[in-house]
Amino acid sequence: MGFHMHGMWSFGGEKVETPTTILLRKLFRYMMPYKLAVFTIVTCVALVSLTNMISPYLLGLAIDNYILVGDLSGLLNISLLYLLVMFMNWIATVIQGYAVEWTGQRLIYDFRNKLMEKLMFQSYKYYDDKRTGELISIVINDTSTLRESFISGIFNIIGDIFSMVGVIIAMFLLNVPLTLITLLTLPVMFLLAYVFSRKFRKAYRRTREKIAEVTTRVQESVSGIRVIQAFGREEDSQARFQMSAHEQFEAQVQAGKLMAIFWPVINFVGSIGTVTVLLYGGFLSAEGRLEIGVLVAFLAYVTRFMNPIMQLTNFYDMLQSALAASDRIFKVLESEVDVEDSPNAIELPKVRGDIRYNNVWFEYVKGIPVLKGINLHIRPGEKIAIVGPTGSGKTTLVYLLARFYDVTSGSITIDGYDIRNVKQDSLRRQIAFVPQDTFLFRGTVMDNIRIGKPNATDDEVIEVCKRLGIHDFIMRLPNGYYTDAGEAGRKLSTGERQLLSFARALLKDPPILILDEAISAVDPKTEYMIKYAIRKLLENRTSIIIAHRLTLARDWDRIIVLHNGVIEEEGTHEELMLKQGFYYQLYTTQISEEIGIEVTGKNNSNSKS
Over the stretch 149-201, which tens digit does the pLDDT of each residue have?
777 677 777 777 777 787 788 778 777 888 788 777 777 777 776 777 667 76
**What CATH architecture does domain 11-333 belong to?**
Up-down Bundle (1.20)
pLDDT mean across residues, the chain: 80
Confidence band of 372 (pLDDT split at 50, 70, 90)? very high
398, pLDDT greater than 60: yes
Percentage of residues of the chain with pLDDT beyond 70:
85
- Across the range 322-327, mean pLDDT stands at 82
Helices (H), 121-184: 124-127, 132-137, 143-146, 152-174, 176-183
Give me the pLDDT at residue 232, please: 66
609, pLDDT greater than 70: no
pLDDT in tens, 505-526: 888 888 999 887 655 555 666 6
Listed in order, the ranges of the chain carrying CATH 1.20.1560.10 are 11-333
Asked if residues 200 and 317 have their Cβ atoms less than 8 Å apart, the reply is yes
Give me the pLDDT at residue 6, please: 33
**What CATH architecture does domain 355-583 belong to?**
3-Layer(aba) Sandwich (3.40)
602, pLDDT greater than 70: no
Mention every residue, 6+ apart, whose C-beta is less than 8 A from residue 135. Answer: 119, 332
Beta bridge partners of 15: 10
Please state, as a whole number, how many other Cβ atoms lie within 10 Å of the Cβ of residue 541.
20
CA atoms within 13 A on the CB side of 307: 15
Residue 430, classified by CB atoms within 10 Å of its CB into exposed (0-12), middle (13-18) or buried (19+), is buried
Closest by CA to 201, choosing from 79, 41, 315, is 315
Q: Which residue type, as a one-letter code, is found at position 372?
A: K
Closest by CA to 503, choosing from 434, 426, 425, 427, is 434
529, pLDDT greater than 70: no
pLDDT in tens, 477-503: 888 888 888 766 667 777 778 788 888
Mention every residue, 6+ apart, whose C-beta is less than 8 A from residue 583. Answer: 387, 550, 559, 561, 568, 569, 576, 577
Give me the pLDDT at residue 476, please: 86
Closest by CA to 431, choosing from 452, 409, 455, 457, is 452
Residue 240, classified by CB atoms within 10 Å of its CB into exposed (0-12), middle (13-18) or buried (19+), is middle
Q: What is the distance between the alpha carbons of residues 248 and 208, in angstroms, rounded to a whole number?
A: 8
Beta bridge partners of 363: 369
- Across the range 451-476, mean pLDDT stands at 86
Cα 86 off chain centre by: 44
12, pLDDT greater than 50: no
Give me the pLDDT at residue 401, please: 94
Give me the pLDDT at residue 349, please: 93
Give me the pLDDT at residue 9, please: 33
pLDDT in tens, 219-253: 677 666 656 665 567 777 788 888 888 887 888 78
249 against 59, higher pLDDT: 249
Q: What is the distance between the alpha carbons of residues 150 and 158, in angstroms, rounded to a whole number?
A: 12
278 against 586, higher pLDDT: 586
pLDDT in tens, 400-426: 999 999 999 999 999 999 999 999 989
- Across the range 8-32, mean pLDDT stands at 65
Q: What is the distance between the alpha carbons of residues 496 and 536, in angstroms, rounded to a whole number?
A: 20
Closest by CA to 328, choosing from 3, 17, 12, 14, is 17
Most confident of 337-351, 404-418, 438-452: 404-418
Beta bridge partners of 377: 356
Give me the pLDDT at residue 569, please: 93
Listed in order, the ranges of the chain carrying CATH 3.40.50.300 are 355-583
Show contacts of 549-555: CB within 8 Å, 24+ apart: 549/520, 549/590, 550/387, 550/583, 550/586, 550/587, 550/590, 551/591, 552/385, 552/519, 552/520, 553/385, 553/387, 555/531
Residue 12, classified by CB atoms within 10 Å of its CB into exposed (0-12), middle (13-18) or buried (19+), is exposed
The verdict on pTM exceeding 0.75 is: no
437, pLDDT greater than 70: yes
2, pLDDT greater than 50: no
Go through the chain and tell me how many residues it has: 609
Give me the pLDDT at residue 61, please: 75
pLDDT in tens, 252-295: 787 777 777 777 777 777 777 777 777 877 877 777 777 777 77
Give me the pLDDT at residue 10, please: 35
Asked if residues 460 and 544 have their Cβ atoms less than 8 Å apart, the reply is no
- Across the range 52-58, mean pLDDT stands at 76
Cα 449 off chain centre by: 27
Cα 374 off chain centre by: 36
